[in-house]
Amino acid sequence: MLRWAFHRWEQSIHNRTTDRVVRDFSWGLDWLPVQPDSAGRAPADVLLAYAEQALADSSAFFAVTDPPSWDLDHRGHLTFESQLVTPHPENNVVHARLFRARDDRGRAVVVLPQWNADVGGHVGLCQLFNRVGLTALRLSLPYHDWRMPPELRRADYIVSSNVGRTLQVCRQAVLDARRAVAWLASQGYTSIGICGTSLGSCLAMLTAAHEPRIAAVALNHISPFFADVVWNGLSTRHVREALDGHVDLEALRRIWLPISPQSYLERVRQTRTLLIYAQYDLTFPLQLSRSLVREFRERQIPHQLAVLPCGHYSTGMTPFKYLDGYWLARFLMKALPARTQATGS
């Protein structure tokens, strides 16, 4: 009865949004920076070869440099250039909002919101982090809010039926997050964590796996594979509809392995990690979340686990949002060591 009630609630919340668009399928080869030996080859094979190359040297795939400059205004609005240049100028400027804690003692958290979060998304969570002594830098994901080109109403270009674009834009998000970490380090922060929700959780995991300055990662809604969430999740049914008949799940999973947490579990062995999933989640189906937890356990990778007694959308509702926020804030407050204050003579 409880499962049925939550699933019905999740469906109801999902159905409130009526502007989802089933877009045309595309392999998106034009989004690849290099197309090795593509002449005469099937597009799927080109993408598979590119994905294998990315996995073979993921440090190069997610390699980042500092931008030419950072600009922080008096309101705490930070902007800088994205390392990966896309065809949309709006998306090539990264936007972030800084929420300073009064006494953070060198501790800061990069916050990655969920897919289609608006400009106010996760502001409350950032303010909660401030209350427990953590400065928060809330990053806008590619093709979201300030970064959305005029033709979009939703952030369709980061998760879509354009296979190559999805791969590259998620890579862009990781590069942006790494540049955000670099900015925090340049400001004197010595204890840096990252927190991501839903799509942001996946991107936070990829960032933590490749950014050595991240000491702790909080993953809010989890899955081992990017493709499986898109294929089976409630929120991405319209994307699945466009994929059907062009690519199967096995091929899609292999192509999107470079943006899947499963590929980088060993790289977070030394990072303090919190895994959170929701008991009645239809967007990140329960079996996927439990599969990732099982991988952590079988590999004996240190982690903490919390299970929310709700669904995906209802995580943002009272009282569950307070429980979720409590677990996130409590973990990061303890996992990020505070800088020792100097004592007077």
State pLDDT tens for residues 203-248: 999 999 999 999 999 999 999 999 999 999 999 999 999 999 999 9
> Domain 2-15+43-335: what homologous superfamily?
Alpha/Beta hydrolase fold, catalytic domain (3.40.50.1820)
Q: Are 227 and 259 in contact (CB under 8 A)?
A: no
pLDDT for 242: 97
Burial classification of residue 40, based on how many CB atoms lie within 10 Å of its CB (0-12 exposed, 13-18 middle, 19 or more buried): exposed
Q: Express each pLDDT in 141-169 by its tens digit.
A: 999 999 999 999 999 999 999 999 999 99
* pLDDT over 80 (residue 1): no
pLDDT for 344: 43
Buried/exposed 241-254: b ≥16 CB within 10 Å, e otherwise: ebbeebbeeebbbb
* pLDDT over 90 (residue 55): yes
* pLDDT over 90 (residue 341): no
pLDDT for 34: 65
Strand stretches in the chain, DSSP E: 70-72, 77-81, 93-99, 107-112, 135-139, 191-197, 214-220, 272-278, 304-308
When pLDDT is cut at 50, 70 and 90, the band that residue 37 belongs to is low
Beta carbons within 10 angstroms of residue 218's beta carbon: 28
Length reported for the chain: 345
* pLDDT over 80 (residue 14): yes
**Residue found under tokens 């502007």:** 19
Mean pLDDT for 277-301 is: 98
pLDDT for 38: 66
Q: What percent of the chain has pLDDT over 90?
A: 92
pLDDT for 41: 85
**Residue found under tokens 């994929």:** 243
* pLDDT over 80 (residue 195): yes
pLDDT for 2: 86
Q: Is the peptide bond before 142 cis (omega within 30 degrees of 0)?
A: no
Mean pLDDT for 247-263 is: 98
* pLDDT over 50 (residue 343): no
Q: Are 81 and 66 in contact (CB under 8 A)?
A: no
Q: Are 94 and 72 in contact (CB under 8 A)?
A: no
User: Out of 23-37, 50-64, 77-91, which region has the weakest mean confidence (pLDDT)?
Assistant: 23-37
Q: pTM for the full model? A: 0.95
Mean pLDDT for 53-70 is: 96
| Beta-sheet strand order (sheet of 191-197) | 70-72, 77-81, 93-99, 135-139, 107-112, 191-197, 214-220, 272-278, 304-308
> What is the overall mean pLDDT for the chain?
95
